[in-house]
Amino acid sequence: MHMSKQKPGKQELFASAPVRRALWTMAVPTIISQMINLIYNMVDAFFIGRTGNAYMMAATSLTLTMVMMNVALSNLFGIGGGSLVARLMGAGEPDKARRVSAFALYGSAAVALTYALLIGVFLDPILEFLGASEATWGYARSYAVIVTVIGGLPSILSLTLAHLLRNTGYSSQASMGLSMGGILNCALDPLFMFVLLPKGLEVTGAAVATTLSNGVACLYLLWTYRRATKEAPLSLDPRKARALDGASVRALLAVGVPSAILTGLFDVANICVNILAAAHNDLVLAAMGIVMKVERVPNAVNIGICQGMLPIVAFNFASGDHRRMRETIATARRYGLTIAFICIGLFQFTAPLLARAFLSTSAGDAAAALATVGYAALFLRIRCVASPVQFINYHTSYCMQAMGNGRGTMLHAFVRELVFYIPLMFLLDRLFGETGLAAALPVGEACGAVFALWLLHRWLKAHSAEK
C-alpha cells in the first residue's frame, strides 16, 4: 500500500534512479526558478539604478531585509512541512502527509497575514532602526508598504506552495510558478516605473510591479497545487489541517522553526550590515545593497542544488537507504563547491562592470554614483571569496533539515550568525572601516562552515547503521 496514490515515476526518482539524474531532475528546475527569482529581485534595483539616484538605491537596500524575511517565514511551513511530507512518503504514510501539507499551507497563510499586520503597524520605528535617513525615508516607506504589507501574503504563500510541490516530486511545476512571477516582474517594472507613474515615483512603480507579479505567481501555484492533490500526498482541505496530530505538528516545527531562524538570522545579519554601512554614509549603504544582490547569483544556484537535494535525502533517510542518502549529499556538495569557485574568479574580474550595471554614472548625481560604484566593486571582490564556505553552510543546514535534525540546524544558525559573523562584523568594521565590514562575511562564514561540518559528521556518525 506504500504510495498508492503517488505516481510510480516520482517514487522511483527518489528511491532508485541514478543519483546524478535524480539530483539534476530535482535541482535544475529549482536552480532556474532561483535564478529567475533572483533576476526579478534584482530588476527593481537595476531599473532604479537607471535613474542614477543613489538614495533610491539605498532605500531599496534598507527594505531588502524586510522583503527577505518573507523567505524566512515561508521556510517555517514550507521547509518544515515539505521535509516532513518527503519523509512520510519514504515511510509509506501518504494520508498523514496530506494532513501535514494542509496544515503547512494554512499555517503559512496565517503567519503571512500576521507579519504584514505587524510591519504595517510598526513600519516607522522599523525604518528608523534600519538607519533610514531623510533622503531615503520616503522611498523606503513606499516600497515596504506595497511589497511587504500589501504583498506579504502572496509572496510568502507562493514560496510555501513551491516547497510543498517540490518535496513531492513536482520540482518543474514549482519552479514554473516562481519563474512566471519573475518574468512578469521584469516586464512590469519599466512599465510602472517609467510609463504609468510620473517621474520621482520609480520606487513606488517597482513595488507595484513586484506585488502584482507575486500575486499572479501565487494564483498559478495554488491552481497547480490543487491539480497535484489528485496524485500527490497533498491537500487543500482545512479539515485535514485541523486533524493533524500533535506529534506531527512538533515534527514539522522541529525542522521549520530552525530553518526560519536560520534565514531570519541571516536577515538580522544583513540588517546589521545596513546599519553599519549607513553609519559611514548613504553611498556605502547603496554600494553594499548592490553587492548583496550580485553575490546572490552563486547563492541562488547553490540553494537550488540544496533544495533539489533535500527531498531525496529526506526520502532515503526515512526509507533506510543511507548509502544512497550519503551519495546524494556528496554529489550535491561537489557541484556546489565547483560553482562557488568559478563565481569567485568571475567576480574578481568583472566587479566594476557589475557595479555599473546597477547604477548609471551618466544620469542624476554622477559624482555620487561614481563613488558608489567604486565602493561596490571593492566590496564585491572581498565578499565573493565567501562563496564556497557559504555553500558549505547552506548544504549542511539543508542536510540536517532533510533528516529532521532541527536541533542541529538551530544550533548551527545561532553559532554561525551570533557567535561568528555578527560579532566579527562589528569588530572588523571598527578596526578597518567599511573594508573590514565587507571582510567580515568570508571570515564569519568560514568559521561557521567548520562548525557546520563538525555537526553534520556527528549526526551522520550517530545514524551510520545501514538498514
In the predicted structure, residue 429 carries a pLDDT above the cut 90: yes
Write the pLDDT tens digit of every residue in 302-321.
888 988 888 888 888 888 77
Q: Judge whether 155 lies within some domain.
A: yes
Q: What is the DSSP string of 187-230?
A: HHHHHIIIIIS-TT-HHHHHHHHHHHHHHHHHHHHHHHHHHHTT
Burial state string for 94-121 with b = 16 or more CB within 10 A and e = fewer than 16 = bebbbbbbbbbbbbbeebbeebbeebee
Q: Judge whether 11 lies within some domain.
A: no
How large a percentage of the chain has pLDDT more than 90?
A: 27
Q: Judge whether 4 lies within some domain.
A: no
In the predicted structure, residue 410 carries a pLDDT above the cut 60: yes
Q: Judge whether 293 lies within some domain.
A: yes
Q: Judge whether 6 lies within some domain.
A: no
pLDDT at residue number 288: 87
Single out the residue of 73, 199, 190, 206 nearest to residue 143, CA to CA: 206
Query: Rounded to whole angstroms, how far apart are CA atoms 355 and 383?
Result: 14
Write the pLDDT tens digit of every residue in 315-357.
888 887 788 888 999 999 999 999 999 999 999 999 888 888 7
pLDDT band at 8 (very low <50, low <70, confident <90, very high): very low
Q: Judge whether 10 lies within some domain.
A: no
Q: What are the percentages of helix, strand and coil residues in the chain, rounded to 5?
A: 85, 0, 15
Single out the residue of 7, 25, 15 nearest to residue 166, CA to CA: 25
pLDDT at residue number 200: 76
In the predicted structure, residue 89 carries a pLDDT above the cut 90: no
Q: Judge whether 416 lies within some domain.
A: yes
Domain count, the chain: 1
Encoded amino acid at 84, one letter? L
The residues, ordered by sequence, that sit 6+ positions from 355 with a Cβ below 8 Å of its Cβ are 287, 290, 291, 294, 372, 373, 374, 376, 377, 380
Q: What is the DSSP string of 138-201?
A: HHHHHHHIIIIIISHHHHHHHHHHHHHHHTTT-HHHHHHHHHHHHHHHHHHHHHIIIIIS-TT-
DSSP-assigned letter for residue 74: H
Q: Which three cell numbers stand for residue 265?
A: 538570522
Encoded amino acid at 202, one letter? E
How large a percentage of the chain has pLDDT more than 70?
A: 91
Let me know if 25 is exposed, middle or buried by CB neighbors in 10 A (0-12, 13-18, 19+).
middle
Q: Judge whether 8 lies within some domain.
A: no
Query: Rounded to whole angstroms, how far apart are CA atoms 456 and 111?
Result: 30
Write the pLDDT tens digit of every residue in 216-259.
999 999 999 999 888 888 888 899 988 888 888 888 988 888 87
pTM above 0.85, yes or no: no
- Quick one: angle between helices 296-319 and 8-15, nearest 10? 100
pLDDT at residue number 187: 84
Query: Rounded to whole angstroms, how far apart are CA atoms 356 and 354?
Result: 5
Domain coverage including residue 362: 16-462
The residues, ordered by sequence, that sit 6+ positions from 73 with a Cβ below 8 Å of its Cβ are 108, 111, 112, 115, 156, 260
Q: Which three cell numbers stand for residue 239?
A: 479539515
Query: Rounded to whole angstroms, how far apart are CA atoms 388 and 37?
Result: 22
The tally of CA atoms less than 13 A away on the side-chain side of residue 289 is 32
Single out the residue of 391, 397, 298 nearest to residue 31, CA to CA: 298
DSSP-assigned letter for residue 384: G
